[in-house]
Amino acid sequence: MASSKSSGDFGNLGFVRTAAVAPQLVLADPAANARHIIEGFDEHAAQGASIVLFPELAITGYSCEDLFFSLDLRRATRSALEEITAAVKDAVCVVGTPWLLDDGRLLNCAAVISNGAVRGLVPKIAQPNYGEFYEQRWFASGAGVNAEVTDDALGAFRVSANQIFRAGRARFAVEICEDLWAPENPGNRHALAGADIIVNPSASNELVAKADYRRDLVRMASARAICAYVYASSGVFESTKDMVFGGHMLAFENGLALAESERFQLQATSICADIDLDKLRHERMQNTTFTNAERPHTYHYVPTLADPPPLANLQRTYSAHPFVPDDERDIDARGGEILNIQATGLARRMLAANAETLVIGLSGGLDSTLAFLVCLEAVARLNRERSSIHAVTMPGPGTSERTLTSAHALCEHTGVRISEIPIGDAVTQHLKDLEHESETDVVFENAQARERTQILFNYANQNNGLVVGTGDLSELALGWCTYNADHMASYNVNASVPKTLIAYIVRWYAAHRAEPALAAVLERVLDTPISPELLAPDAQGDISQQTESIIGPYELHDFFLFHFLRGGADAYKCYRLAQLAFADRYDGATLRRWLGVFYQRFFSQQFKRTTLPPGPKVGTVSLSPRGDWRMPDEASVTRIVNEIAGFS
């Protein structure tokens, strides 16, 4: 059936668009600033932003100094706030303004405005009064302030830092500039009280290296509180008497950079960021440190926007290969880190078992090649000779000359011993004992896989060794392994490395660590079609059984796996995001077909994952039954598969 979610509104998939704007500023001229703020708000609301953030004291300018005491400026500020409030429709505006309490305290506030009314004023708590800052000269702290205001022009609202504002499905809160830099920042409390998004109107001046520190501060604030953090700092039109402001705009989501502006622009500066609320809430549910943290009390929950603007598109992009870094420098660092984790885990396991050898089934395919490289690294860490690695290649009815040659070449160019033990006769005898005649069915295929595993374990017993597993995360997700055969090992070094990432690591190793002769072999392996090689080669001797033509492209399955497990996405969201990421490669029918295969296999093959051998976790996604993933073997997937067929 076609889901109601197919309307094309990405808001239905949990996304909310936010914007941060540093408009043109006329210092100490609130009327002029109001016009610029309204222009910036209207522009971004028309683009689908639900929340539009402006800098600290944007109505007056941050650097007005003793003019904040001026009755003229306060009156003009009041008129400008009324003008902005009347103009704000269809989205939420968060804008910095001074506010004088009835008790005589002047506060540095952020006004939260929607649909022609102020919904709340959030006062700044920490006033910097060091170095170039003198805020305590003008403003009192908003700590403990909880005032109710009823105003004929602005509406009824509260002045308090402890407010959570609702905009459609989004819940957001405000902390102002120095509040983020304080030892105990209110943003963490806001997040624990339910805020998905923290917005920060700021006036942070530019100093050498301060932008790097500011960026790291916002990034870590978003990661620590498992929230989105949107930051808008004053632009270059503030006073330059003693400081220069750069208009730094930032948006992060749980440590992930979504948007950043160019600084020092002599015109209005802005960013847009589409925040994935459902992903944040999924992260929070899974993080017991977050869920068990003590919750703050005395918060006020304020509705601001019932129906956010629809999102017909997304302004964030999604990598087709989410497990693989986009930047070559990151690939270099990631490749070395993954190998370090794998090799250290294997070396430690070897010591614990008092094993003298590592026994690996070397097929000449991609997975066993990476596991072989891990073995090389592990014995090097233990200062052992490569003779402690025993590679075993076991050609059978489906083995091609290409992979057999690659297996031998890998060992030849690394000085590792290789034993060739053909399995054809043993499999034939076994099938004869079973009175089985077919050479194309699952019994024929699995008999080969189990024969190889039997040889490896018995060979390891014979040589006081550990059987090194080679199967990868993608195969475990799809159950593309034979139960109690390649499914089993003493220690599986590839257990949490997906297929797409394995290819990149092997390619990185060829480019950065291998001697030319070995690099050539690794490139040969990378160019070999992925296959279990359990059926006879074709008439030309080439591989006839290609995995991706049977179960679908691994790049799609890795994409689905990442967003399903890492982001908590449902099937429809996986489908829509795949449409964005693979727009130039797969049509909707193809995506639906393989998404259905992914869910069908992921659910039906859980029984294999329930009994996995140990292996090191190398990334944030793992299917270990002892670590990251537990589900019943009998869970039904019928409903989901039926829904996928109706996606449009």
| Structural tokens at position 627 | 């670590």
Residues 109, 177, 375, 481: which is the catalytic one? Answer: 177
**Count of H helices and E strands in the chain?**
21, 20
Phi and psi torsions of 424, nearest 5°: -55, -50
The CB density around residue 183, as the number of other CB atoms within 10 Å, is 5
How far is the C-alpha of 347 from the C-alpha of 378, rounded, in Å? 5
C-beta of residue 473 within 8 angstroms of C-beta of residue 498:
yes
How far is the C-alpha of 527 from the C-alpha of 525, rounded, in Å? 5
Q: Is 435 a catalytic residue?
A: no
Residue with tokens 């009824």: 156
Virtual torsion, Cα 179, 183, 186, 188, nearest 10 deg: 130
CA distances from 64 to 138, 244, 320 (A): 10, 14, 49
| Structural tokens at position 393 | 């290649």
Q: Is 177 a catalytic residue?
A: yes
Virtual torsion, Cα 126, 129, 130, 132, nearest 10 deg: 110
Q: Is 312 helix (H, G, I), strand (E, B) or coil?
A: coil
| Structural tokens at position 202 | 């700021």
The CB density around residue 314, as the number of other CB atoms within 10 Å, is 17
Residues 124, 279, 573, 608: which is the catalytic one? Answer: 124
Q: Is 89 a catalytic residue?
A: no
How far is the C-alpha of 26 from the C-alpha of 29, rounded, in Å? 6
- Of the candidates 219, 247, 262, 331, which has an alpha carbon nearest to the alpha carbon of residue 58? 247
Helices 499-512 + 554-561 axis angle, to 10:
110
C-beta of residue 613 within 8 angstroms of C-beta of residue 491:
yes
Q: Which helix (H) or strand (E) holds 267?
A: none
Q: Which helix (H) or strand (E) holds 533?
A: none
How far is the C-alpha of 46 from the C-alpha of 44, rounded, in Å? 5
Buried b (16+ CB within 10 A) or exposed e, 350-383: beeeebebbbbbbbbbbbbbbbbbbbbbbbeeee
How far is the C-alpha of 373 from the C-alpha of 258, rounded, in Å? 36
Residues 56, 83, 253, 283: which is the catalytic one? Answer: 56
How far is the C-alpha of 416 from the C-alpha of 386, rounded, in Å? 6
Contacts of 364 (CB under 8 A, 6+ apart): 393, 402, 403, 404, 405, 406, 407, 410, 525, 528
CB-neighbour burial class of residue 288 (10 A; exposed 0-12, middle 13-18, buried 19+): exposed
Residue 277: left if φ>0, alpha if ψ -120 to 50, beta else—which one?
alpha
Helices 442-462 + 424-433 axis angle, to 10:
120
Q: Which residues are part of the catalytic machinery?
A: 56, 124, 177
